[in-house]
A and B are shown apart, each in its own frame.
Chain A
Amino acid sequence: MPKTLATFQNVTKTYKQGAVDVHALRGLDLEIHAGELTALVGPSGSGKTTALNMLGALDVPTTGRVTLEGTDLSTLSRKQLSALRRDRIGFVFQAYNLIPVLTAYENAESVLALQGVAPAERRQRVYALLEEMGLKGMEDRRPDQLSGGQQQRVAIARAIAANPAVVLADEPTANVDSETAEMLLDIMQRLNRERGVTFVFSTHDPRVVAHAQRVVRLVDGKVQSDERK
């Protein structure tokens, strides 16, 4: 029996767009299991980003509940949510994840720095991590001196450096070529296998989907299918 990490319980999200209500989620029920690599797929507008934002404590449901590690996120204050994101969640966005004026190393260590981890320990952990990501020798480069794929690897390093409970990645490969996408997926798969990092990512890319253990298909803000390999 896999350990439950997060749950969506009958979650709805309605955006008001002028007079029109846009229903981004219409009763989403989903359980995320620790240690899994889950892909959220579905047509554009099906609610993938909305779901990830809620799991990442960046957005709140209109109705229903989202829990992470047993905590109902709606019970937490802004401050607690901020600390939760820092300590328990890793984020990888589609593109331009990094702070342009910080080097690859500084970007990768930034969550650890926010946590107040001592510089010596940061150094040791982040250098090892960047090496593992195939970024040895690029530690002092600024994001604009890195390729899109390298930038995403730095973002992944930043996301996992503090050992979060889950890494959320919204279309992490949308802005890179397919070869780079393969490589990023390989890395995530390896981190998942070797370090037990839990990943939830959204994607349109069928090749990316192939790397996932579990594929959840959303349509119209609801789960249409949920397959495990």
Chain B
Amino acid sequence: MTGPNLVRLAWRNLWRNTRRTLLTLVAISFGLLMAVLFTALQDRSFSDMIDLAARLHGGHVVVQHPEYLDSPTLDRSVQDAPAKLAAIRALPGVQAAVPRITGNVMVASARGSYGALFIAYDPALESPTTLSFLEGVQGDMLDSADGDGVVLGTRLAKNLGVGIGDKVVYTATDSTGEIVSGLARLRATVGTGAPSLDGALVLLPIESVRRVLGYTPGEVTRIAVFIDDSRNSPRVRDAVNATLTDGAVALTWDEVQPELNGFIAMKVGGARFMELVILILVSASIFNTLFVSVMERTREFGIMLAIGWTPRQVSGLIVLESVWLAISGIVLGAALTTPLYLYLKSHPIDVSAQFAADGAPMEIAGVGIAPVLQVGIFPESVVVIVCAIVLATLLSGLYPAWRAGRTVPVESIRLV
């Protein structure tokens, strides 16, 4: 290599004031740690929430009647579900696609009657993947041979005063406006983590509901599409839409549940703000280090410029110092963050004690939030954080670098 070895010189310069550099590195790595853990909590709880919401309300992508969203009545149904399902299942990224009929029912027992939300599903098709929002199952879930079974939310069963094996009557308004009803026997009770839902959830076998409602064999209110990664929802929605021809549209989970999406947007906004604050603190600390160190070295820069260094080389040296600072900070930060992250990933923090005060678990838009802090960061988030820190470091170094390059030798050398 010809020319001065700026990279090596920059590295050595970094360690001229060990204490100051170490402090800065601690600031950068602490910033990285905070940003990663903070984002990891968010990423994880969002993907959990979205997932739960999607499973509960009918998938990451939902196919339904174009007007169902305006008013969810049973006459706004989708025809020919089997053909549509086959086309959707063939799409890349689709984990499962299942037919469902959902709507409002009145459930009655000897003790009383309650309004509820029913989800009629095909026990032969739905798996733990699509029904994983269910927890604490007491009894046996519906099976495909089961024509008159029903599963109720724990609270609803309690309110109705029914136990496993007891009979309930459900009543709904069919697509023609007629009041229709069916009789079913309680097979199991389930929880969802969301108290309001536990008090209003009814699961029924899809075939018996079709019969009761007078639906044709291929008729459903929605097709629920489950995908691997909720962030791909818009892409899958578009792909699904391309397979649809008549009387049905595909929507993403957030289009179906704008209130949940609004909440998430708010939280993401909060996270971005926190990340910005962290970034500004990190930048300020880097700027301070580089600026002070440049100001202390004016004589040296003056001599360098006098003997033939170009201003560009001197500025470049400072930029390289900031690059080293960024790299070292990120390496140290990664060394600090990784073990803590992995520990938290395998040992989620149980914060239910904090929530126990008001007695009820948290829920947002009918989606329960587990009172456990779990981490799980999206790879993109890591890339964004690292890039942000590198960029902040470089930007913080620009002004000091510019100042160093503009040193006037005659003036700086005179000050011995």
Contact = CB atoms under 8 A, between A and B. Distances in A.
Interface of A: 49, 53, 56, 58-59, 79, 82-83, 85-87, 90-91, 93-97, 99-102, 110-111, 113-119, 158-159
Contacts of B9: 99, 101-102
A160 B2 CA distance: 19
20 contacts: A49-B414, A53-B410, A82-B305, A82-B308, A82-B309, A85-B306, A86-B307, A87-B308, A90-B307, A91-B303, A93-B306, A94-B416, A97-B303, A99-B303, A101-B12, A111-B307, A113-B4, A115-B308, A118-B2, A158-B307
B307 A85 contact: yes
A101 B13 contact: yes
Given A53-B410, A82-B305, A117 B2 contact: yes
Nearest to B313: A114
A100 B306 contact: no
B409 A99 contact: no
Closest 8 CB pairs of A and B: A86-B308, A101-B12, A116-B2, A113-B4, A114-B308, A59-B410, A58-B409, A58-B410
Contacts of A93: 303, 306, 413
A170 B264 CA distance: 68
Contacts of A116: 2-3
Contacts of A99: 9, 300, 303-304
Interface residues of B, number: 26
A56 B303 CA distance: 12
A110 B307 contact: yes
Contacts of B353: none
A91 B2 contact: no
Nearest to A110: B4
B310 interface: yes
B111 interface: no
Nearest to B409: A58
Contacts of B12: 101-102
B299 interface: yes
A14 to B, nearest CB: 15
Contacts of A118: 2
A209 B16 CA distance: 38
Contact of B306 (A58, A94, A115): A58
A117 B3 CA distance: 7
